[in-house]
Structure 1
Amino acid sequence: MARRVDYQQVTDDYHQHRQLKKGAAGWVLLAGLGVSYVISGDFAGWNFGLDEGGWGGLLTATVLMAVMYTCMVLGLAEMSSTLPTAGAGYGFARRALGPLGGYATGVAVLIEYAVAPAAIAVFIGGYVEALGLFGLTNSWPVYLVAYLVFIGLHIWGVGEALKVMFAITAVAVVALVATVVGLVPHFDPANLTDIAVSEAAGAGDLLPYGFAGAVAALVYGIWFFLAVEGVPLAAEETADPQRDMPRGIIVAMGVLLVFAALMLLLVPGSAGAETVRTSDNPLPEALRAARGDDDWIAGFVNYAGLAGLIASFFSIIYAYSRQLFALSRAGYLPRFLSLTGSRQTPWVALVVPGTIGFLLAALTQNGALLINIAVFGATVSYVLLNLSHIVLRRREPDLERGYRTPGGVVTTGIALVLSVVAVIATFFVDTTAAWITAGVFGAFVAYFWFYSRHHLVSSAPEEEFDQISSAEGDLR
């Protein structure tokens, strides 16, 4: 895929101004990072799938996406132990699919990670308004404060940021456990299917909006797991990536599967799918519906639920900055975006997408819309990531790997098929948003084709990997 590129020489101090802090994370922090990326999806967002497909539709979607993510994570565990760079998905695809494939993957991930925090910011505002804090009737000040505070923490230092993130995630996990304890006594299977049945094809109690609704719900089944694939972005800041990366991302995925199953079953099963289908704060709403308006657990979860949303918001900011840093350092995007400060954090790559995300949140204030945009970028990247694993296994079977995916290409082949289905599903939810996002993606690709492929940096780690591989191939 467009392997012809031109490299430019850079000054000796180029990489001195683009260095990340080494050894800041072990596998426990990586697992915490993986959970924190996603945990907001347990607190809000997934429930919009009930509005699209009913409980049966969302159940089908979640099971399919759980299979897709599990298979993909096993492939990522292998690739991240083999090619441990800050580019992560872009680096894997760069090695397997060439410059255009790597760049396209990186841009798709960047769209996902730049927009997902904006969606989460909207949900943070929803939780704040539900608590009646500060007398707010418009949440844009909440979005602004969230971006300023947490971008500032990331600029302060990666080790400090990851530890703060781990602590916030622990509070969020406690809130999920409290939700489970509070709702179990009130579970009634009849509540799962209380949405009125439509006249759509295939409609019934389990699928009130028919087969098309189940397809549309795929976008929200993804929200239970969206961004766990970002763990490998911490590779250059990990003590032992060959060992720690596979362990961290696989443990994180296991935790996420358990919480997704519990939330999907207990929240609508206690309060009713109809009650929580469009809520911006479904867990506290379900607890109040099941246990009473003055329930103390609901109050606790409402406050602690903010920790879950903040944890994902905080950690995905980390992810977008590392993806943008890697693409910029290699020259695929403007090089000034990869500048790092005195504390070895990519401050420009933190601020620029953060500004865009704040504007998206403030102007739209529509979490469901922003989810669909983020998911479009994610699913495109998943297609390319799974394809990359398959190509690397076929083309470079003897490449030294710290971990090997069980099932090999069969495993990532399953994930590839399901990720293609997920891309198609984004058009079932909001065709306009999907096409606009596709247009933005196309503009990025045009930038590469007409400009940046002629201005790449040969000494960037992802480019060096490819040049070494090409040289070894010429010797054989």
Structure 2
Amino acid sequence: MQQTLKPTLNAWHLWGLAVGLVISGEYFGWSYGWASAGTLGFLVTSLMVAVMYTTFIFSFTELTTAIPHAGGPFAYASRALGPTGGFIAGFATLVEFVFAPPAIALAIGAYLNVQFPGVDPKLMAVGAYVVFMTLNIVGVKTAVTFELLITLLAIAELLVFMGVVAPAFSFANFAAKGWAGSDTFSMGSISGMFAAIPFAIWFFLAIEGVAMAAEEAKDPKVTIPRAYIGGILTLLVLAIGVMVFAGGVGDWTKLSNINDPLPQAMKAVVGENSGWLHMLVWIGLFGLIASFHGIILGYSRQIFALARAGYLPGWLATVHPKFGTPWIAILAGGVIGILAIFSDEWIKIGGQTLTANIVTMSVLGAIVMYIMSMWSLFVLRKTEPALERPFPAIGYPVLPAIALGLAVVCLLTMVWFNPLVSGLFAGFMAVAYGYFRMTAGRRADLATPGLLRAAQP
């Protein structure tokens, strides 16, 4: 059974993947943070999270270039911390990448519902899964070339949005009741800022997924750092610009609990019959599609890597004989995502919207993975000083320590403000750990390159 992936991706493909994985976060999801923190409070939270992501990416590139493996963080933690560390990092990454797509699919449905009010947004979300799982199965180079094109269109559309609404921007609108619903800063403002952390993370969530394409990258020790650094700088500019302009065009509270804040913000400026609005809805779908499509690639590679190493059933690592893609992993993640789309029919969590809960679940996985990755970086510096590091962490040890410290703060805050979703996350991990323990013997026979420490001189 074939269990290897072919290197076909260049630096532009990987940059498109880095930005495309994340860019839907500029289109929706983040505005839920306004409901908790207000515009000014959320701006502070977003800047803190931006510092975390920038320091994290400048550090994470050391791991991705030293250990180019489809498992990404799972591979780094396995090598640094052993099988249990690998399990925690792999499970967390899997949760992040499996639960992000249903939130994006729901937003795709919401955007299409603006044009087709009579069609159920959830059915359109399922349709998006069917289309883009198929495209991912057909071939990675085809998939990532498509990703690059729609990412460029999505970036252009965000710039158009900012240009169209800029004449109507007013800082007074943006700042009105900007501290958690109040015009003055208070202790409640601080609480709201911490509660909004998951939605600030959504601005940047999944950029680390480029690491999961490492086995399919040409010269990953050069192309991946370029993709990461170019990607995070692109996203920083877009995230702050979109948030500030959207919040300054009118009553921002009307945008704080919906899945399509940009069309609604533009509607307030140009009217609901404007061609600009219809262009934003249609072309804006490219931003959602870019992330949705890219994260399907990411979750499939994570499932593939975990199954190949024995952490999941081996049949999930099957590679399609014609297309060379992990097709069963693509379908398996899609089934979970579609079930999540309809989960509000069976379970209510914490009084939040379905999208907000799915976003929170995905972000919990991401933060645990960030902590495990930075911990692994410090451990590998000590245990494998001779490991080749083509792109050492910038500002080591200060920047990696900042990334680790901020990630820990984010995790503690999220658990405090989201106890039910956090409990569900812990429950999933407990079940997965039971499988991990029961299959220990099988993993002993599946040594995978990149998961074992190099022999010490």
Coordinate RMSD, CA, aligned: 1.8
Distance in 2 (CA, whole Å) between partners of 1:241 and 1:43 is 30
Aligned with 1:462: secondary structure? coil
Query: How many Å apart are 1:458 and its aligned residue?
Result: 3.6
Change in 2 beyond 3 A, CA 1:248/1:207 = farther
Change in 2 beyond 3 A, CA 1:409/1:197 = closer
Query: How many Å apart are 1:344 and its aligned residue?
Result: 0.9
Q: Which residue of 1 aligns with 2:126?
A: 144
Distance in 2 (CA, whole Å) between partners of 1:308 and 1:344 is 27
Distance in 2 (CA, whole Å) between partners of 1:197 and 1:98 is 44
Distance in 1 (CA, whole Å) between partners of 2:286 and 2:172 is 31
Query: How many Å apart are 1:209 and its aligned residue?
Result: 4.6
Change in 2 beyond 3 A, CA 1:380/1:292 = same
Q: Superposed, which structure 2 residues align to 1:210-229 within 5 Å?
A: 210-229=189-208
Q: Which residue of 2 aligns with 1:355?
A: 335
Q: Is residue 96 of structure 1 aligned with residue 80 of structure 2?
A: yes
Cα deviation, 1:317-336, whole Å, max 9, x if unaligned, reads 00000011001101111111
Q: Superposed, which structure 2 residues align to 1:274-293 within 5 Å?
A: 274-293=253-272
Change in 2 beyond 3 A, CA 1:457/1:27 = farther
Contact 1:233-1:319 within 8 A present in 2 as well:
yes
Cα deviation, 1:127-172, whole Å, max 9, x if unaligned, reads 1111226x21x22221221111101111100000111111111221
Specify every segment of 5 or more residues in structure 1 that has no aligned partner in the other structure, as ranges.
1-15
Q: Which residue of 1 aligns with 2:153?
A: 171
Distance in 2 (CA, whole Å) between partners of 1:38 and 1:208 is 32
Distance in 1 (CA, whole Å) between partners of 2:185 and 2:162 is 23
Cα deviation, 1:233-290, whole Å, max 9, x if unaligned, reads 1111011011111111111111001101101211101233212111211011111112
Change in 2 beyond 3 A, CA 1:269/1:429 = farther
Q: Superposed, which structure 2 residues align to 1:422-437 within 5 Å?
A: 422-437=410-425
The answer to which of 448-457 and 109-118 deviates more is 448-457
Query: How many Å apart are 1:206 and its aligned residue?
Result: 5.6
Contact 2:40-2:178 within 8 A present in 1 as well:
no
Of 161, 165, 183 in structure 1, the residue corresponding to residue 143 of structure 2 is 161
Q: Which residue of 2 aligns with 1:118?
A: 102
Contact 2:33-2:196 within 8 A present in 1 as well:
yes
The answer to which of 289-298 and 75-84 deviates more is 289-298
Query: How many Å apart are 1:204 and its aligned residue?
Result: 4.4
Query: How many Å apart are 1:454 and its aligned residue?
Result: 4.8
Q: Is residue 58 of structure 1 aligned with residue 42 of structure 2?
A: yes
Q: Is residue 417 of structure 1 aligned with residue 396 of structure 2?
A: no
Q: Which residue of 1 aligns with 2:348?
A: none
Contact 1:47-1:277 within 8 A present in 2 as well:
yes
Cα deviation, 1:434-474, whole Å, max 9, x if unaligned, reads 211121122212321233365344442233x43xx1xx23x
Cα deviation, 1:7-37, whole Å, max 9, x if unaligned, reads xxxxxxxxx5212122x11111101001000
Distance in 1 (CA, whole Å) between partners of 2:149 and 2:186 is 39
Of 222, 247, 250 in structure 2, the residue corresponding to residue 268 of structure 1 is 247
Of 315, 319, 339 in structure 1, the residue corresponding to residue 294 of structure 2 is 315
Q: Which residue of 2 aligns with 1:11?
A: none
Contact 2:18-2:210 within 8 A present in 1 as well:
yes
Distance in 2 (CA, whole Å) between partners of 1:438 and 1:83 is 28
Change in 2 beyond 3 A, CA 1:404/1:277 = same
Q: Which residue of 1 aligns with 2:350?
A: none
Of 1, 12, 20 in structure 1, the residue corresponding to residue 5 of structure 2 is 20
Q: Superposed, which structure 2 residues align to 1:231-242 within 5 Å?
A: 231-242=210-221
Contact 1:271-1:287 within 8 A present in 2 as well:
no
Query: How many Å apart are 1:198 and its aligned residue?
Result: 6.8
Contact 1:198-1:208 within 8 A present in 2 as well:
no
TM-score using structure 1 length: 0.90
Query: How many Å apart are 1:407 and its aligned residue?
Result: 0.8
Distance in 2 (CA, whole Å) between partners of 1:228 and 1:426 is 20
Contact 1:330-1:457 within 8 A present in 2 as well:
no
Query: How many Å apart are 1:205 and its aligned residue?
Result: 3.7
Q: Superposed, which structure 2 residues align to 1:127-138 within 5 Å?
A: 127-132=111-116, 135-136=118-119, 138=120
Query: How many Å apart are 1:229 and its aligned residue?
Result: 0.7
Query: How many Å apart are 1:396 and its aligned residue?
Result: 2.0
Identity of aligned residues (%): 35
Q: Which residue of 2 aligns with 1:5?
A: none
Distance in 2 (CA, whole Å) between partners of 1:359 and 1:112 is 16
Cα deviation, 1:196-215, whole Å, max 9, x if unaligned, reads 8779xxx6446795211100
Query: How many Å apart are 1:409 and its aligned residue?
Result: 2.1
Cα deviation, 1:99-128, whole Å, max 9, x if unaligned, reads 111121011000010000011111111111
Q: Superposed, which structure 2 residues align to 1:303-452 within 5 Å?
A: 303-342=282-321, 343-364=323-344, 366-452=354-440
Contact 1:21-1:345 within 8 A present in 2 as well:
no
Query: How many Å apart are 1:360 and its aligned residue?
Result: 0.5
Aligned with 1:21: secondary structure? coil
Contact 1:94-1:103 within 8 A present in 2 as well:
yes
Distance in 2 (CA, whole Å) between partners of 1:126 and 1:102 is 37
Contact 2:311-2:443 within 8 A present in 1 as well:
yes
The answer to which of 421-430 and 434-443 deviates more is 421-430
Aligned with 1:461: secondary structure? coil
Distance in 2 (CA, whole Å) between partners of 1:206 and 1:178 is 33
Aligned with 2:386: secondary structure? coil
Q: Which residue of 2 aligns with 1:13?
A: none
Change in 2 beyond 3 A, CA 1:456/1:303 = farther
The answer to which of 333-342 and 360-369 deviates more is 360-369
The answer to which of 384-393 and 291-300 deviates more is 291-300
Q: Is residue 186 of structure 1 aligned with residue 149 of structure 2?
A: no
Specify every segment of 5 or more residues in structure 2 that has no aligned partner in the other structure, as ranges.
345-352
- Letter of the aligned partner of 2:424 in structure 1? I
Change in 2 beyond 3 A, CA 1:101/1:193 = same
Distance in 1 (CA, whole Å) between partners of 2:252 and 2:113 is 22
- Letter of the aligned partner of 2:402 in structure 1? I
Contact 2:174-2:252 within 8 A present in 1 as well:
yes
Q: Which residue of 1 aligns with 2:449?
A: 461
Figure out how many residues of one structure are paired with residues of the other and give that number. Answer: 448
Aligned with 1:271: secondary structure? coil
TM-score using structure 2 length: 0.94
Aligned with 2:257: secondary structure? coil
Aligned with 2:342: secondary structure? helix
Distance in 2 (CA, whole Å) between partners of 1:45 and 1:208 is 25
Distance in 2 (CA, whole Å) between partners of 1:435 and 1:166 is 37
